[in-house]
Chains A and B, each alone.
Chain A
């Protein structure tokens, strides 16, 4: 009964076009008014402060800010040059360069739309100039941008870690395997279509000296993942502190080394970051209280019982959850989905023996797919903004890549070792 009231109320307010965080708050408010003996109204007021008064959560604005500074600071262009020197000369080379460059940029940025913007604004025009179809190029970049959140650092992983209590450090390390699988799947599809349409690589032959020159140019950008991940694993700093170091580092490199960022651009970066922080993290304020009430009312247990009545198999239940998450990813901004569903579903799958880090990567991969599925596909919007290709035909062109990502998701779901080998190897 209380489950129907909470979740039904939430859905009801969403349909009335209330902002997601507020819809949760209103559902909680209705519940509290009808059941004042379960939790008093003060609980919600207190939660608005205490749930966001969190040091780990602070990594979110810092990673957004770091990405925004590095995008303006010329780091992306050098990463593209490096990717191009490695795979540019192969057939379909430009498509592979795009995916590889997104993987590199994913390692310095925690955001997926930022990856699309940073790599897409350079690579899409370059691909079109080489005779690649503009819709194909735009769709590929939109999908490859999703790698930005799978390869660490990753803002959704921070959110998942804060919401569920899983180790953010472990999640970051767990992202490498799935990132390689998803990136590999995209490159395979891109190569198939490049072969079919006769897209060529660059005229320059592969040359080790070019790689070394590009590596040298990009070295300041490549230090970023070393500082962030090395710093976290070496116990030098927490993920939040690592994000601040990335901000300061990105600022200094952009201003004084590459000299493509100017002080006057900085306030705009700060405001954009604050805007994104406000829209996403206001949801934490209300979703935490919703989560607590659901725990008090034993709703996760009810969902487990219900799922077990459908099937006893862990894998079938994981497939059901994946299908459900893909659907949610289509209609809801996916950071919000992680916040609301992460803790709930983790309680469910943990009873089936699924590792929290493994499940985190399953959710983040789902999110990366949600970024490129209509009607709410942030990456598609960003990519459309770059090329002015119309939204519907872009969605159609993204279909083969989305299929590849879904296959990657299945592989990652059913082979936990892909996610867990690296954290295990490092002994964390």
Chain B
């Protein structure tokens, strides 16, 4: 059971992203079909696809953290000696972590304001805008978890490398 939960959590982005992108294709394709074949333009399809799109982008960004695929100026690393390059990237990740925390916190504050202080609803579907905005703090929250996981595994593999190096020395 625990193992199943861990597998789901480890692949959370993948499941959600397949669903998000797949459903976006369906919404927009339906929009075209209804307009031309049934002569019945849909009101909700574009808005729902747009809100799903925001999820797609930021969950995709979380997946990119997990797979270490974010776009960085790698040429900048040439400025540093080889040994410290991994630590520069680590510093970059810590700054990313800081940014993710600020954005998660700020968007949560914003959602609080447009839900309870001055309620806003979306034009087409009439759902609370706070619900649509949730994509940002939740995805950045997930990114925070993934960055911390990466940092932990960075230090872990570093100590393993060092200890295995010392084992080699002893064996020699």
Chain A 277-290, CB within 8 Å of chain B: the 1/0 string?
11111111100000
- In-complex Cβ contact of B63 among A13, A19, A241, A274 (8 A): A274
Chain B 82-116, CB within 8 Å of chain A: the 1/0 string?
00000011011001101100110011011000000
Looking at the assembled complex, report how far the CB atom of B86 sits from the nearest CB atom of chain A, in whole angstroms: 10
**A26 proximity list for chain B (CB < 8 A):** 95, 98-99
The verdict on A180 contacting chain B, using a C-beta distance below 8 Å, is no
Q: Are A55 and B57 in contact (CB under 8 A)?
A: no
The verdict on A376 contacting chain B, using a C-beta distance below 8 Å, is yes
Bound CA–CA A278/B56 (angstroms): 7
Question: Size band of the B side of the interface?
Answer: 35 or more
Bound CA–CA A71/B63 (angstroms): 23
Answer whether A277 and B73 are a contact pair too, CB < 8 Å, given A48-B103, A240-B28, A245-B32.
no
Q: Are A53 and B73 in contact (CB under 8 A)?
A: no
The verdict on A372 contacting chain B, using a C-beta distance below 8 Å, is no
Q: Which of A273-323 contact B (CB under 8 A)?
A: 273-285
Specify the chain A residue showing the minimal Cβ separation from B129: A49
Specify the chain A residue showing the minimal Cβ separation from B98: A26
- Chain A interface residue count, CB cutoff 8 Å, equals 60
**B95 proximity list for chain A (CB < 8 A):** 13, 16, 18, 22, 26
Specify the chain B residue showing the minimal Cβ separation from A282: B61
**B99 proximity list for chain A (CB < 8 A):** 22, 25-26, 29
Q: Are B17 and A274 in contact (CB under 8 A)?
A: yes
- In-complex Cβ contact of B58 among A41, A267, A275, A278 (8 A): A278
The verdict on B42 contacting chain A, using a C-beta distance below 8 Å, is no
Answer whether A375 and B133 are a contact pair too, CB < 8 Å, given A53-B51, A58-B49.
no
Looking at the assembled complex, report how far the CB atom of A11 sits from the nearest CB atom of chain B, in whole angstroms: 9
The verdict on A389 contacting chain B, using a C-beta distance below 8 Å, is no
**B13 proximity list for chain A (CB < 8 A):** 274
Q: Are A280 and B50 in contact (CB under 8 A)?
A: no
- In-complex Cβ contact of A376 among B28, B73, B79, B109 (8 A): B73
The verdict on B81 contacting chain A, using a C-beta distance below 8 Å, is no
Specify the chain A residue showing the minimal Cβ separation from B86: A17
Q: Are B54 and A279 in contact (CB under 8 A)?
A: no
Bound CA–CA A35/B58 (angstroms): 28
Looking at the assembled complex, report how far the CB atom of A51 sits from the nearest CB atom of chain B, in whole angstroms: 10
The verdict on A46 contacting chain B, using a C-beta distance below 8 Å, is yes
Q: Are B17 and A331 in contact (CB under 8 A)?
A: no
Q: Are B62 and A18 in contact (CB under 8 A)?
A: no
Bound CA–CA A284/B56 (angstroms): 13
**B91 proximity list for chain A (CB < 8 A):** 16-17
Bound CA–CA A270/B22 (angstroms): 7
Q: Are A279 and B64 in contact (CB under 8 A)?
A: yes
Answer whether A20 and B71 are a contact pair too, CB < 8 Å, given A13-B95, A55-B46.
yes
Answer whether A275 and B60 are a contact pair too, CB < 8 Å, given A18-B72, A52-B53, A58-B53.
yes
The verdict on A118 contacting chain B, using a C-beta distance below 8 Å, is no
The verdict on A15 contacting chain B, using a C-beta distance below 8 Å, is yes
Chain A 33-57, CB within 8 Å of chain B: the 1/0 string?
0000000011011101100111101
Q: Are A16 and B88 in contact (CB under 8 A)?
A: yes
Looking at the assembled complex, report how far the CB atom of A329 sits from the nearest CB atom of chain B, in whole angstroms: 12
Specify the chain B residue showing the minimal Cβ separation from A231: B32
Q: Are A55 and B50 in contact (CB under 8 A)?
A: yes
The verdict on B144 contacting chain A, using a C-beta distance below 8 Å, is no
Bound CA–CA A49/B122 (angstroms): 13
Looking at the assembled complex, report how far the CB atom of B105 sits from the nearest CB atom of chain A, in whole angstroms: 9
Bound CA–CA A14/B64 (angstroms): 18
The verdict on A248 contacting chain B, using a C-beta distance below 8 Å, is yes
The verdict on A140 contacting chain B, using a C-beta distance below 8 Å, is no
- In-complex Cβ contact of B32 among A41, A49, A237, A276 (8 A): A237
Specify the chain A residue showing the minimal Cβ separation from B57: A281
Q: Are B133 and A49 in contact (CB under 8 A)?
A: yes
The verdict on A271 contacting chain B, using a C-beta distance below 8 Å, is yes
Bound CA–CA A331/B78 (angstroms): 11
Q: Are A248 and B29 in contact (CB under 8 A)?
A: yes
Q: Are A49 and B107 in contact (CB under 8 A)?
A: yes
Q: A15-B73, A247-B25, A273-B21 are in contact. List 10 more A-B contacts (CB 8 A).
A: A15-B79, A45-B136, A65-B25, A241-B32, A245-B32, A270-B18, A277-B60, A278-B63, A279-B60, A281-B60
A-B contact pairs, 27 of them (CB 8 A): A21-B71, A22-B70, A22-B96, A25-B99, A29-B99, A29-B102, A42-B110, A45-B110, A48-B136, A49-B107, A49-B136, A52-B54, A52-B57, A54-B50, A58-B49, A65-B21, A270-B22, A273-B21, A274-B18, A276-B60, A277-B56, A279-B64, A281-B57, A282-B70, A283-B71, A284-B57, A375-B74
Closest 5 CB pairs of A and B: A278-B60, A19-B70, A45-B106, A17-B92, A274-B17
